[in-house]
Structure 1
């Protein structure tokens, strides 16, 4: 997590928020916020809040009495999140999922949107999440399914493999789409102390963009994939972003994009 976290620096948070959030994160934030609201929690901890896509939805959907703490390891991402207005006050806090700075049994609900893939020790993070949950509380999170079930991410990877046939950047497949095995998820949760069997829903949604240029900018310059590209081809980031945009256009058309993305939603009780 720490290595990947260092990739969310410089202009990446702004590009991430502008291009990646509406493209792939906002639709799943709507889903998680609805699930959270249905549980009617009094206290909520969000882990890996990033630039606040889910946080803003939680603030809008949960009743005013619900106290929301939104945390992330990366202060730069939280700075971006706090600059964007939420429907009501939220407590923002820099926090490492490996060592959560919260008391035992302090939250009715812990939520995490597309953050578990970055945990360096997933069982340890799950043990920390279980520790801060109240008895009877719930942990709700999501992770991306295999990259082959996410057509746009696959197209970006294929384009970069064409550009770097001997050493393609693997960030997207290695981390965001590298934690899709359901049995591994269950095993890690059990190792983290969750005794109840998790409810896991595979949820296909649509990734939409006005043109190929937005997704190309988002993936290539608004995620840690940027560092892998720049390490292989210093000074060529704009050129390679254009190459990815061209490849996306060839695959999905040069106009508006509407394509499949897929994730697992995991719900497990304390």
Structure 2
């Protein structure tokens, strides 16, 4: 799953926002960076290039992601870690970054409090979250395909989990509850560029937890064909450009 995620989804869906988050991180001139939910290292690689004098530690809960990320971005120190129980002493970092990871934290306030613990006083927490589901054109088309392929009950992972943290007021309240001061909040819409809708569909169907439902359905080939057909009808076969909206937060410990 991590390889499919890296090959098909990272370039289209995550790379544009990684570039944005990197420029914001570099402008803070950090010396010690901790990345949470680093995945396969898309943001990590950019951070290493943009802040070459900084020490970068990249973490993810998933061992497979850590294994692949450590190959992709070997300049960072890679650790398997739970964001709610970080294996670092207090005050270890002056910047913590997280790209599209906070929505996966079971207890966001607890995770945010842990981030604050490992930051120096006044340290910065910089992260993004996906906006409302309807603002992500690729995933709207994907879900329409899943609803056709699973008429009795389509997988709801995409709209409910990645987009499950789409109210900026709730995120800001969680940050405040963990002792952070929100310094900047911004809605950001960027364009994703897919050379092939078939490849992008493959990424979602094999590189995300949607894969489980597809494998259990008994006819993976039919699901793939239906989803690709629906996505192509809505977006075209590719190359295609489509908008994706996120929120960016910067908070001070």
Category of TM-score, reference length = shorter chain: over 0.9
Do the aligned partners of 1:212 and 1:246 also contact (CA within 8 Å) in 2?
A: no
Residues of 1 paired with 2:224 and 2:182: CA distance?
43
**Distance in 2 between the 1:85 and 1:186 partners?**
31
Partner residue in 2 for 1:91: 77
TM-score (norm 2): 0.97
Q: Distance in 2 between matches of 1:51 and 1:239?
A: 29
Partner of 2:247: 264
Give the one of 19, 23, 26 matched to 1:34.
23
SS of corresponding position for 1:18: helix
The 1-side partners of 2:183 and 2:133 are apart by 23
- Judge which range, 242-251 or 37-46, deviates more: 242-251
Equivalent residue runs for 1:14-163 within 5 Å: 14-64=3-53, 66-86=54-74, 89-163=75-149
Q: Which residue of 2 aligns with 1:228?
A: 213
Cα shift readout 1:106-165 (whole Å, capped 9, x = no counterpart): 100000001001000000000000000101110000010011000110111111112222
**TM-fit CA distance, 1:203:** 0.6
- Listed as ranges, the gaps of 5+ residues in structure 1 are 1-11
Aligned partners of 2:46, 2:237: CA distance in 1, in Å? 31
Distance 2:221 2:25 in 1: 40
Unaligned runs of 5+ in 2: none
Structure 1 stretches of 4+ moved >6 Å = none
CA-CA distance at 1:176 after TM superposition: 0.5
Given that 2:141 and 2:234 are in contact with CA atoms closer than 8 Å, whether structure 1 keeps it comes out as yes
Q: How does 1:184-203 map to 2 (within 5 A)?
A: 184-194=170-180, 196-203=181-188
* Candidates 152, 157, 170, aligned match of 1:171: 157
RMSD (Å), alpha carbons: 1.1
TM-superposed CA distance for 1:85, in Å, is 4.4
Query: Which deviations, in whole Å up to 9, do the C-alpha atoms of 1:69-120 show, x marking residues without a partner?
Result: 001111111111112245xx21111110010010101100000001001000
Please, what TM-score do these two structures have when normalized by structure 1? 0.91
Q: What's the offset of the Cα at 1:255?
A: 2.8
The 8 Å contact of residues 143 and 264 in structure 1, kept in 2 or not, is answered as yes
Does structure 2 conserve the Cα–Cα contact (< 8 Å) formed by 1:171 and 1:228?
no
In 1: Cα distance, 2:238 partner to 2:166 partner: 31
In structure 2, what is the Cα distance between the partners aligned to 1:176 and 1:255?
A: 24
